[in-house]
Each structure stands twice: as structure tokens, then as C-alpha cells.
Amino acid sequence: MKHLLVGVVIVILGGAIAATSLVRKAAAHDPLQDVAMVGTALGATLVVYGGLVLLTALAGGGKSAALVRVDHFLPFLRKKKKQTVHRPSWFKRLVAKVLPASWLSDPMTGRAGRLRVFFKRLGPTMLSSPLRRVIQTICLLAFLWLFFYVCWPYTATPQPAGRVSTGWQLVEIDADTGFLRMVQTRADDWAQAPEEARFLVDPQALDAIQGEFGRFVVVQHVASDLTLRPSEPLTEHQLDQLLTTSGTWDLHERSPWPSHYADDLARKESLPADLFLVIDPLVSLSTAIAARSWVWSLTSAAVILIVCIVIPRGFCGYLCPLGTLIDLFDWAVSKRIRRFRVADDGWWVHLKYYVLLGTLVSAVCGVLVSGFVAAIPIITRGMLFLGEPVQSGLLRGWQQVPPPNAGQFVSILLFFVVLGLGLLRPRFWCKYVCPSGAVFSLGNVFRVSERKVESSCIHCNKCVEICPFDAIKADFTTRVTDCTLCQTCGGVCPTQAIKFVNRGNLVELKVENDPPTRETPIGRRGFVSLAAGTAAALVGGVGIASATKAFGARLGDPHTRPLVRPPGSVPEQEFLTMCIRCGECFKACPYNVLQPTGFEQGLEGLWTPKVVADHAGCASSCNACGQVCPTGAIRALPLAEKKAARMGLAIVNAETCLPMAAREPCRLCVDECIAAGYHAIEFKRMHTQTDEDGRPVEESGFLAPVVLADKCVGCGLCQMSCFNVNVHQKQLLPASAIVVEAGEGKEDRILHGSYRALRSAEASQRRARLRDQQTHDYFIPGSGSVDHAEAPSPFSADETAPPQTPAANDDPFGIGAP
Amino acid sequence: MRPCFALIAVLAGCVLLAERALADDQIEFLSGARVQGKVTHIDRTQKIVTFDARIGGREIRREYPYNKIHAVTYNGQRYVLNKKESTPKPLPRSTDQSGPDATSPQPPRSVKALIEEAGKTPPDWYDDTPLEYPPTLDLSWPAKPQGAWNNQKNVGQYMWDIVNPNPDRWRRGVKLVHHLLAMHQNDAKKRQRAMQTLGGMYFNLFQDYARAAYWWQQAGVDANHNAGFALGECYWRLGDRQAAVAFLVDPDRPRPNNSLRVGMIKLWGDMGETDKAVKVAEWYVRVGGEPHMAFLFAGDALRLAGRYQESLNYYQKVINAPDGKNKKNSDREKSRARASLEAVRLFDLSDVSRVADGSYQAESIGYSGPVVVEVVVQSRQIKSVRVVRHVEKQFYAALTDVPDQIIAKQGVKGVDATSRATMTAEAILNATAKALAQGAN
């Protein structure tokens, strides 16, 4: 009764917290969004826990009078003693009703049912704790599905161009609303559908992409009088353009830019592609420390840590796809090779804490090594460099797979080392080394559930043998920092002495230290090893940090060639700090333009993404890398911003470029750039021949490419086409004659702010520079030079007159009385 | 007492409203747009109005020159700075159509007027186009520039090397020539050179036949001038066929009135006078002209008229002809003839007017595998060409540009695949031709 009440109180409390948080979360632009998310998780966890308390109370706590039981293992099958009155739990009664009797074991005879026989065939851990294995399988499959499906955008193809309605004339920009009023002589009905997005395009531009002015939403229309709301506030330059452009505008149904990759990604946005990465707490924690800023994924880490208070280290036992993969490897390989086995204790048993400490220390020093050692990045990169090329090769053709480099090989090696540790002991990595696991072990201090052993224990040692995490001491009690509550031990215990209950439950517990464990909480030796380990971790952390810096990127060195980074990357120093080498961007990049860096920047740049444009260029319709970056090292840019973000500048090699070297005509890069919509490469004629009169010979010479620095964003499509045709196909050149380069003035690396604003500021400067040489002279023979656009005003400005206050003047504009 | 208060309140309200109305100035631009705000400064010497535009509650301070403005309402008073033309300018701009046909002949008088009117007004993009040229450019524009070829110093060479190859620079190029014309208006030779250059640019780059004709007329181009028949083409394109013929050599007239030029063959062909084109070509070769270009144009004229078999003969003649004085040129014309020959033979079937409506798929082998193209033909027109499956590298250029070209040209004929130098483009073309051939049977 008391327990029931406690359960109700917990549920109400949890519900209240969750509801409050959800309300805050729903309120847009609430600065406490992150806190609200953690609050929701806390409330939800409380509700679930309260629910478990209620269920336990309703089922009758049994003799141990536990507040909560989280048992889900399949208990050892025993014939029931005749004299005991057996009242099966509500769950068993439910199962008995739903499933056919032949599937279930018979408690009277002790004969195993079909379900049990099936589980037994699968293996002892499956028999003991099937639920855990099912969850593990689901998580691994979910990880793989998210990995291989979400980042497979090739089913998306560019939409056919939408409809175009021409001949729109701007009438007015409304002072109060900022809406545009436009009219058209004929009425295109489709263009005026209310609340539809329309794209204003200047038909006089080179093409629709260059002429795209902006996105507008139809507010209302009367006949062919259309009111449009700008999607974004108009800039100064846009205003000038709208007001002073003579001629009409086109309304496009769709943006002339292709957007299929971004659309594909947006369609999949509801799928949490980086789910497993953001719940790896080490990743967010170390990033936040290294970058000294709030990282949004910290909230996800907080959520998983809250959940793991109920299921201590549940992440490792149930969710972690790397753990499951190691389980599979251990089952398939390590089980058969026993020659490398080591004892169950040694210097390595607490290694994970020191690895964690070292990681955090080096993060404090500003160097992120969590990507090398954290669980999810390791499996992500393993899949990425092993699985993804196979996926691409099989489904899209092997020529699409770029050749691997040192970065890939090192990563693959590390992946196999992690798996191979299983040869020493099953799940050696998870138990002793994994620093992400260490975070959860430390979180276990706050656990509310726990494995307990009752006095009916017969010291049979079966639980110790089967425990995958070495979490059972010699006296069969729990090593609480290691136990993942996988409940396999519960399933093998012949006396059902093992229970998973609330931490405070102390009923009928087994005597501790019997048989003696010879473990002391912290003895002299323990203290020495703790001190030594900590010192080693500190020294190691600082050492790694200083080593990476010493053999690092040497950013200031003028002799090093800066790497081309993905579009929207933050400044290089911050980039190296914030990038956790999780591999999400490689995975997301549709054409594998992003490749891992090897040792070009020493250790500091290892596995950071760089643009390799030989095999593919950055698609203008894709902004995937920024969208998936968990730390913001690549900014999550909207497509319009991404297209304005310069990642580099294409540089033509004057010695090798075929037309420049007068070898043969070639216009691959120009065509590619025009087709992509940038128009950033133009021609100049070179090697022009002249006749005797010094006049150029028609068609002589070569049209050579010239990159316009103010338009080039460094997408690398030009490099791709030159490499593929001139280098690969025709074998005319040893390397692409046009190459994207990064560096000062060639790329935009900003932490905040708009790239489009940068471009528009540059354009204003250019216009201001040109303004000095502007004239409007339009000479017409026989009339002398007239300033054509000038009104034929008899009054010119009186330059000698003192400046007058305009209001006091009848002729403020100096054009004669109106 | 109370009504009195009410009256005062109403009056106060009126005053406030009036005040508000006064506070809002308005600019009406020549573009037709108007915007409200506040005139903060008027620079009468520079002819610039500083204006705080009010847009959606924001105020944006901008400066606008008088010549962009039609009228300003300032402190409640409306001032017209520039008169607006009541009717939109007749702008005979690019005509991609093959010219006006005989059914809608425009009386010559109006064509003359059209040319006059268009020539005296700048093109509508003129004001928005910046005057931009390299600072090293020698604007004194000597007839024979000294020294070696230098496209950053000599105007003609700058035009040749930098402006002509880049459509993006054409408007700025025209602006520069107008600027040179104004600069050298008192130097008869340079003035004539500038006007002739303008005629050529409007003709070749913009297909703005009215302005081309105007400036050629002003430059004194006549029938015997190099550009004479091009001026004739302008007249024809604008609708004055008679004036055009005066610039040509008519083979059916006993005495040739003008000197013979190879471009006339093309113009006769374009005008639909295929037989005259062929006759002029034969004549041209008989009197000693080089056969390559002449027969190529004759072939083109026949092909345009749908006389494919005859056109093949003329293309073959070009290929068989011995090399000319300039081997490079005759080689180029031979390869053009070869390409045309190939195109006529291969793609004659895929004439869209013979293809039944429907959607057709066909594939061809590209650089790294099959390229599947889907062609939709609706009411005898190619509505869409889509690459539905490919394993090519990105090659945006080919994947989007070639289908666009096919749609624009309504067939695979004349789509320039060779210059793209990619197998992808050719694969798309071949697949499209195959797909269309399915529907033609």
C-alpha cells in the first residue's frame, strides 16, 4: 500500500516535470530549450520509474518487498515444489493467455516450452536474457539502417524546371508591411495561388540562376494585381535593384537552383541519423570542454545519463552498436581463438578511467582526441571506410569510389584493433578501455537500480562465468561500476538468488565477502596504482595535447598548404578544436568530395574532413555536411547561404592548362561552372594570331579559362571535369590543370554571420569603385552628346548659389517649378 | 461643452492625420515602382536624392540619382523629374525565330521609323550596366596600335580577346564603345569606326537588328561594304524584305547589282529562297571563290528547306574540295560539313514533327555505364528530356545542358556535343535520337 502511494507520487511528480518542460519546449525561441529537453527526459524517466513501482506493488513485491523490480530475464527452469502455492505474476498470466500453451514451459513437469528451446538453441545469453539481445539487435540494425539509408541521396534527381510567369511589373513596396505589389498585363492564374512560394527572377540576367532575386510568398491577388511577402527582409542592394531596374520580372514556381540533395536530406530530417553519436556523452563533453562553449548535444548526453540512472550503464549493455558488434565478433571469432586470452585482472582493469581522464585533460588543453577513442566515432568510421565504399561500389559502380588515403587506413586499423581486443577477453574494449563506458561507470554513482544477490546463493559460480562485463566479484555480489544490468546472470542462477531491484532494498541479502574477494575499496596498492594511473593519464593527456600541437597543423607556417575545408567551416584553429572526427560529414557527402585528412597536418588534423575535388565537386544543391555536423565545426547553413560560402578558389595552372599552353581547345571547366549556375569562369582568348595588317585571324588562338574570384566558391566541379577527362580519360595531363586552393582571401572562414551578406558587401564595394568612372553619355550623331536619361530641364543646378534648406524652396530639386 | 470637446478631438485627429500625410514622401521611379519614406537631402549639383525608404516598418537610407526617378512627392507637393514615356519603348530585341515570314510584312516606312527610334534610345540595360574596362586600356584608340598584341592595352584586342568570348561582358563592351564614341565624337574616322563596331556588336552579339541597322546606317555602310549584306539581313529580320534584297546579289536578275559575298548565300537560304542560295553558291564558286564556305551554306540552306538528299551532295562537295588558301579554315569547314552530313544521315529520322505523342525511353553507353534518357513528346513537341538513370560522374554540364539544348532546338540536330568533349553528352544525344526514332516508326 505504501509502495503504491510512493509509485503514484513519483508518477505525478514526473508527469508534472515533463509537462512543464514540454510547455517550455513548445514555446519557440525559449532560451531554456535545452534545459526543457533535459527536464522532459527527467520527467519521463520518473513516470516510467513510478510506473515500475506501481507494477511491482500491484504484483506484490514478493518476499524481498522491493520497491521496484526491473527483472526481465528468463528465469532458470525448475520443477515447482509441490507444497508451494504459486501465484504467477500478472505478466506471466498475460503471456499465458496470449501465446499457445506449447510455446511455454510447463511448471509442473519442468518441461521446456518451444520458446525456451528456441532461445536455448541460440545460446545461453539469449536464453537467459532474450529482451536484452533483442534490444541490442534492434539498436545495431537501426544504427546500420540510419547509416546506410539516410546518407544515400542518389534516388533524388533534380526536379524539372517549374513554370515561369513573365512580364510582372513592380508597382509599390508597401511602407507598413514591406509587401511587394506587382501587376501583369495578362493573368497567369497559377502564379497567384495564395500562400505559395514564388521566386522572383530578373529575366535580363545571364540565366535564371544568376537572376534569382529572392523568395516571396503570395499574400493575396486581385485579378492580376499580386501582393508578395518577402521571405527575408530586403537588403539595401535588393531595394535598389527592385526600384531602379527597368523592365519586368519573372515569377518562377521553383527556385532555379537545383535543390534535390537538400530536399532529400530535409525529407529525412525527422530521422535521427546521428542519434547514436549524440548520445555518446564523451563526444559532447570533450567537445564542449575543448571548444569552451555550449554544445547542443550535451543535452542529449544529459538525457542518456538520466536514463542510465534507472538502467545503470544501460547504454553499454543495450544500446551501443559498437558493443553489439564486438559481441558478434567475440561470438564469431574470439570464441574460437583462445591463445591470446589474459587473466581477468591486471593493470588494465581500470584503464578506461585513465583514458577518460587523459581525453578530458587534453580537451582542456584544447586538443580533441575523443574521436580516436570514443565508441560511436570508432564504429562510424569503421562502417564509413569499410562499408560505405562497398555500398557505393556495388550500387553505383566502383569507379565512383575514390582511392583511400592514410587517414582511412589508420582508421580501419584502429577499428580492427578494437575488435581484436576481444581475443584477450570478451568485450575487452568495453570493459577496460572504452572511455565512453567510463563516463557511464562514473554515472553509476547515482544509480537507483542495482543487481542484488539473496542469501539463497549456492556459490555455483555460473553467474561469474557468464557475466560479459566481469561485473561479479568472487563473492557473487556486484561490481556496481561495471554492471550493465544485462540480467544474463539472473537467467542462469539455479536458485533465482539474483534480483534487480531498487538500490535501497536490503532484504535477505547474501553475506558479503564470502568467499573472500580479496578486494579492498582502496588499499595501499590500490592507492599507488590509482595515483600512478592518474598521473599517467594527466601526463598522457597533456603530452598528447602538446605533441599534437608540436607536430600539428602549423597554421601560421607559410610553407604549408592550407587544406580546403567543407563549405561553412569555422576558422581553421576553431575547426581543429571543434571537429571530433566523427565521420558524419563523410557519410553525408553524396559524391565523396569530403575525404579524411591523413597526416598532412600531423596528428592534429587526422580524420578531419577535407575537400578532394578530383573525383567529384561539391554539389550546389547539397548542404548535408553542415546539417549532420554534431559540433558546428561545419556550420549548418541553409542552402542559400551554402551557395555563397566560399570554401576555396579555383586556380588555373597556366603551364598545364591545355588552351593556355596552346595544346588543344578545351572548355570543360567553363561549361561545368556555367551549368552549375556559378558563372565564375570566363574565357580569354590567348595566342591570337594576326595577319599582315595586324588584324586578328578569325578563330585563331585558344579560349582559355579565367576564374572570377568574386564569383568562385571553390566547389571544385571544374577540377572534377578537368581531372576526369583530361587526366583520367584522355591522359593528357598528370594532374588537373585547375585546382581549388584554400588560404587567406580565398575562402570564408567565419564563426558567425551571413556569407550572403559578405558577398553583397563585396558587390557594393565593387559598385562603389566603378561609380567613379560612370558616365551616362549616349552619343547620337547629329545632335551632339546628350545625357539621355536627364530630363530636358531648362534649369540646371545652380552651383554658385548657397545651399538652401529644401523645405523653403519652391523648386527643391532644381528642375524648375513643378 | 461635451460636443465642443468632441469637435476639438476630431480636429486634432485631422491635424495629426494631415501631419502624417505630410510626413510621408514618395518616390515614383522610372521603372514604375513607388515607395514611401522621407526625403532627407537633395543634392542639386550631383542630382541625387537621399531618401529614407520605409519598408515594412524599417527605414533604409538610400541615395538615388535623378535619372532613375520619375516623380517625387515631397512635403505634399509632387515634382516630376523625368517624363515617363506613355507607351513602352518598342524594343526589337533578340529574335530567335527564323525571321518574320511573308504573311506579316511591315510597311518599309515603319521599319525605317523603328530603326530610327530604337537607335536613338539606349537599350534598356544600358543604365544598369557599369562602364568597366582595365585601367591600362588606351582609350585614345589609335587605328594601328603600336607594339605587340596586348589585350589589356589596345581596345580592339581587348574586345577580341576578353569581351567577345564572354556573353557576360557583352553589355559592358557595348557600353565601352558608346563611351569611346562620345569621347571621339569630333574625330570623324574614330566616330565612324565606333559606330561600325556598334553595328557589328548589336548584330552579332545581341541580334538587336534595329540598333545594328541604325549604327551601320550612321556609319555609312552601303551595299558594297563588307557588312552590307548583314545590314540587308537586319532589314529582312525587321520585316522589310525589299530593302534586304537591295543589298544582295540576285542570281535571277541579268546584271548583278552588288559585289558578291559568301554570306549572301546564307541569307538567301535563311530567307527561304533556297534555289537562289544554291545558284549564288554555284556562281560564287564559278567566278573563283573558295568552295568550302559557299557549298557549306548551300547545304545548310537545302537542309533548312528539308531537301536532305541535295544537302548531302553539297556537304560532300565541301569534303571533296581541295584545301583552300587558308588550310586551317578549309579544314574547319570540312569538319563542319562532315558533322552536318553525319547529323543529317543519323538523325533525320528523329525529326520531332514525325514522332507520335508519348514518352520514350532509350539508353546509350556513357563514360561509366548506361545512360537512360526519357523523352516526352506532346503535341508534336519535345516537352522534356530527362536523364532518368546514369552512373556518370557529376558532369552537370552534360546532364542538364544537353537536354536543355535538345528541348530548345526541338531535336538532336545542331546540339553541340563535340565541343563538350564528354562521352556523357554524346550518350545523351544518341539515347535521345534512339528514343525519338522509336516514336517515328
- Taking the Cβ of residue B42 and every Cβ of chain A, the question of whether any pair is shorter than 8 Å is answered with yes
Residue B301: the pLDDT is: 87
**Residues A179-189, mean pLDDT to the nearest whole number:** 84
DSSP annotation of A644: T
pLDDT at residue A87 greater than cutoff 80: no
pLDDT at residue B17 greater than cutoff 80: no
Contact assignment for A400 to B391 by CB distance below 8 Å? yes
Residue B418: the pLDDT is: 40
Is A797 in contact with B65 (CB distance < 8 Å)?
Answer: no
pLDDT at residue A739 greater than cutoff 90: yes
Contact assignment for B182 to A619 by CB distance below 8 Å? no
B48: cell is 541625387
Q: Which residue of A has its CA nearest to B423?
A: A725
* Rounded Cα distance, A340 and A433, in Å: 17
Highest mean pLDDT range out of A17-21, A184-188, A339-343?
Answer: A17-21
Contact assignment for A396 to B80 by CB distance below 8 Å? no
The pLDDT confidence band at residue A795, using thresholds 50, 70 and 90, is very low
Q: How far is CA A510 from CA A458, A477, A507, A758, B269, in A?
A: 10, 8, 9, 71, 108
* Rounded Cα distance, A700 and A703, in Å: 9
- Taking the Cβ of residue A204 and every Cβ of chain B, the question of whether any pair is shorter than 8 Å is answered with yes
* Rounded Cα distance, A3 and A216, in Å: 60
In percent, the amount of chain B with pLDDT more than 70 equals 78
Considering only A255-269, A606-620, A776-790, B265-279, which range has the smallest mean pLDDT? A776-790
Which residues is B402 bridged to in the sheet? Answer: none
* Rounded Cα distance, B424 and A325, in Å: 42
**Residues A651-663, mean pLDDT to the nearest whole number:** 93
Nearest-neighbour CA in chain A from B121: distance (Å): 8
* Rounded Cα distance, A609 and A597, in Å: 6
A592: cell is 565523396
Is B306 in contact with B279 (CB distance < 8 Å)?
Answer: no
* Rounded Cα distance, A173 and B35, in Å: 5
Mutate to test the interface with B, among A154, A179, A235, A244 (most CBs of B within 10 A): A244
Nearest-neighbour CA in chain B from A396: distance (Å): 6
* Rounded Cα distance, B333 and B324, in Å: 10
Residues of B in contact with A658 (CB under 8 A): none
The pLDDT confidence band at residue B360, using thresholds 50, 70 and 90, is confident
Contact assignment for A779 to B422 by CB distance below 8 Å? no
- A182 alpha carbon, distance to own chain's centre: 42
| Total residue length of chain A | 818
CA nearest neighbour of A530 among A541, A522, A538: A522
CA nearest neighbour of A716 among A399, A402, A392: A402
- Helix (H), strand (E), coil (C) string for chain B: CHHHHHHHHHHHHHHHHHHHHHHCEEEEECCCCEEEEEEEEEECCCCEEEEEEEECCEEEEEEEEHHHEEEEEECCEEEECCCCCCCCCCCCCCCCCCCCCCCCCCCHHHHHHHHHHHHHCCCCCCCCCCCCCCCCCCCCCCCCCCCCCCCCCCHHHHHHHHHCCCHHHHHHHHHHHHHHHHHCCCCHHHHHHHHHHHHHHHHHCCCCHHHHHHHHHHCCCCCCCCCHHHHHHHHHHHCCHHHHHCCCCCCCCCCCCCCCCCHHHHHHHHCCCHHHHHHHHHHHHHCCCCHHHHHHHHHHHHHHCCCHHHHHHHHHHHHHCCCCCCHHHHHHHHHHHHHHHHHHHHHCCCCHHHCCCEEEEEEEECCCCEEEEEEEEECCEEEEEEEEECCCCCCHHHHHHHHHHHHHHCCCCCCCCCCCCCHHHHHHHHHHHHHHHHHHC
Contact assignment for B68 to A170 by CB distance below 8 Å? no
DSSP annotation of A802: P
Considering only A81-90, A610-619, A625-634, B245-254, which range has the smallest mean pLDDT? A81-90
Is B437 in contact with B352 (CB distance < 8 Å)?
Answer: no
Residue A789: the pLDDT is: 41
The maximal CA–CA distance of chain A, rounded, in angstroms, is 127
Instruction: Return the beta strands (E) in A68-142 as ranges.
Output: none
Phi, psi of A377 (to 5 degrees): -55, -35
CB atoms within 10 A of CB B60: 18
Q: Which residue of B has its CA nearest to A236?
A: B60
Give B5 or A723, the one with higher predicted confidence: A723
For chain B positions 229-268, those within 8 Å of chain A (CB to CB) are none
Considering only A543-552, B232-241, B244-253, which range has the smallest mean pLDDT? A543-552
- A376 alpha carbon, distance to own chain's centre: 12
Residue B158: the pLDDT is: 94
Q: How much is the mean pLDDT over chain A?
A: 83
Element (H, E) at A818: none
pLDDT at residue A177 greater than cutoff 70: yes
Listed by start position, the domains of chain A span 2-59, 164-257, 276-443
Which residues is A249 bridged to in the sheet? Answer: A168
Residues of B in contact with A170 (CB under 8 A): 31-33
Residue A716: the pLDDT is: 93
Using one digit for the tens of pLDDT, what is the confidence trace for B116-148? Answer: 988 888 888 887 788 889 989 999 999 888 888
The amino acid at residue A492 is V
Is B289 in contact with B262 (CB distance < 8 Å)?
Answer: yes
Q: Pairing mode, if any, of strands A180-184 and A164-173?
A: antiparallel
Q: What is the per-residue DSSP string for A328-370?
A: HHIIIIITT--TT---S-SGGGGHHHHHHHHHHHHHHTT---H
Nearest to A720 among B72, B394, B420 (CB): B394
- Taking the Cβ of residue B6 and every Cβ of chain A, the question of whether any pair is shorter than 8 Å is answered with no
Neighbour-count burial of B441, counting CB atoms closer than 10 A to its CB (0-12 exposed, 13-18 middle, 19+ buried): exposed
Element (H, E) at A433: none
Considering only A298-312, A538-552, A590-604, B194-208, which range has the smallest mean pLDDT? A538-552
Mutate to test the interface with B, among A669, A776, A810 (most CBs of B within 10 A): A776
For chain A positions 241-300, those within 8 Å of chain B (CB to CB) are 242-247
Angle between helices A236-244 and A755-771 (to 10 degrees): 60
A747: cell is 575562402
The amino acid at residue B85 is E
Residues of B in contact with A619 (CB under 8 A): 394
Residue B383: the pLDDT is: 86
**Residues A163-182, mean pLDDT to the nearest whole number:** 87
Q: Which residue of B has its CA nearest to A785?
A: B182
Using one digit for the tens of pLDDT, what is the confidence trace for A524-537? Answer: 666 677 778 788 87
Q: How much is the mean pLDDT over chain B?
A: 79
Contact assignment for A244 to B396 by CB distance below 8 Å? no
Give B290 or B46, the one with higher predicted confidence: B290
* Rounded Cα distance, A487 and A499, in Å: 9
Residues of B in contact with A676 (CB under 8 A): 396
The amino acid at residue B173 is G
* Rounded Cα distance, B439 and B380, in Å: 11
**Residues B83-110, mean pLDDT to the nearest whole number:** 49
- Taking the Cβ of residue B147 and every Cβ of chain A, the question of whether any pair is shorter than 8 Å is answered with no
* Rounded Cα distance, A522 and A533, in Å: 14
A423: cell is 581475443
Query: Strand, coil or helix: what is A696?
Result: strand
Residue A273: the pLDDT is: 75
Considering only A272-276, A734-738, B243-247, which range has the smallest mean pLDDT? A272-276
Highest mean pLDDT range out of A47-56, A499-508, B175-184, B252-261?
Answer: B175-184
Element (H, E) at A160: none
The pLDDT confidence band at residue B115, using thresholds 50, 70 and 90, is very high
Q: Pairing mode, if any, of strands A594-596 and A600-603?
A: unpaired
Cβ contacts of residue B243 below 8 Å, gap of 6+? B108, B111, B232, B235, B236
For chain A positions 584-603, those within 8 Å of chain B (CB to CB) are 591
Name the fold adopted by A164-257. Answer: Elongation Factor Tu (Ef-tu); domain 3 (2.40.30)
**Residues B415-427, mean pLDDT to the nearest whole number:** 54
Q: Pairing mode, if any, of strands B77-80 and A649-652?
A: unpaired
Residue A158: the pLDDT is: 76
Tell me which residue has cell 538528299. B309
**Residues A556-568, mean pLDDT to the nearest whole number:** 84
Q: How far is CA B345 from CA A538, B303, B309, B339, in A?
A: 80, 11, 9, 10
Domains of chain B: 18-80 (2.30.30.100), 106-247 (1.25.40), 251-348 (1.25.40), 352-440 (3.90.1010.20)
Neighbour-count burial of B112, counting CB atoms closer than 10 A to its CB (0-12 exposed, 13-18 middle, 19+ buried): middle
For chain B positions 323-382, those within 8 Å of chain A (CB to CB) are 328-329, 332, 367-369
A282: cell is 564523451
* Rounded Cα distance, B206 and B165, in Å: 13
pLDDT at residue A367 greater than cutoff 60: yes
* Rounded Cα distance, B393 and A750, in Å: 31
- Taking the Cβ of residue A160 and every Cβ of chain B, the question of whether any pair is shorter than 8 Å is answered with yes
Size of interface A-B (CB pairs under 8 A): 244
pLDDT at residue A482 greater than cutoff 80: yes
Mutate to test the interface with A, among B394, B404, B419 (most CBs of A within 10 A): B394
Give B217 or A400, the one with higher predicted confidence: B217
**Residues A560-582, mean pLDDT to the nearest whole number:** 88
Residue A796: the pLDDT is: 37
A755: cell is 556569407
**Residues A277-286, mean pLDDT to the nearest whole number:** 86
Residue B47: the pLDDT is: 81
Considering only A288-302, A542-556, A607-621, which range has the smallest mean pLDDT? A542-556
Residue A132: the pLDDT is: 92
Residues of A in contact with B166 (CB under 8 A): 682-683
Residues of B in contact with A225 (CB under 8 A): none
For chain A positions 54-93, those within 8 Å of chain B (CB to CB) are none
Q: Which residue of B has its CA nearest to A203?
A: B125
Which residues is A216 bridged to in the sheet? Answer: A198, A230
Contact assignment for B131 to A615 by CB distance below 8 Å? no
pLDDT at residue B328 greater than cutoff 80: no
* Rounded Cα distance, A287 and A285, in Å: 5
Contact assignment for B421 to A666 by CB distance below 8 Å? yes
Highest mean pLDDT range out of A226-230, A545-549, A789-793?
Answer: A226-230
Is A368 in contact with A387 (CB distance < 8 Å)?
Answer: no
Mutate to test the interface with B, among A157, A736, A769, A813 (most CBs of B within 10 A): A813
**Residues A141-157, mean pLDDT to the nearest whole number:** 84
The pLDDT confidence band at residue A31, using thresholds 50, 70 and 90, is low
pLDDT at residue A652 greater than cutoff 90: yes
pLDDT at residue A811 greater than cutoff 80: no
* Rounded Cα distance, A501 and A341, in Å: 34
* Rounded Cα distance, A698 and A691, in Å: 10
**Residues B17-45, mean pLDDT to the nearest whole number:** 77
- Taking the Cβ of residue A39 and every Cβ of chain B, the question of whether any pair is shorter than 8 Å is answered with no
**Residues A46-73, mean pLDDT to the nearest whole number:** 81
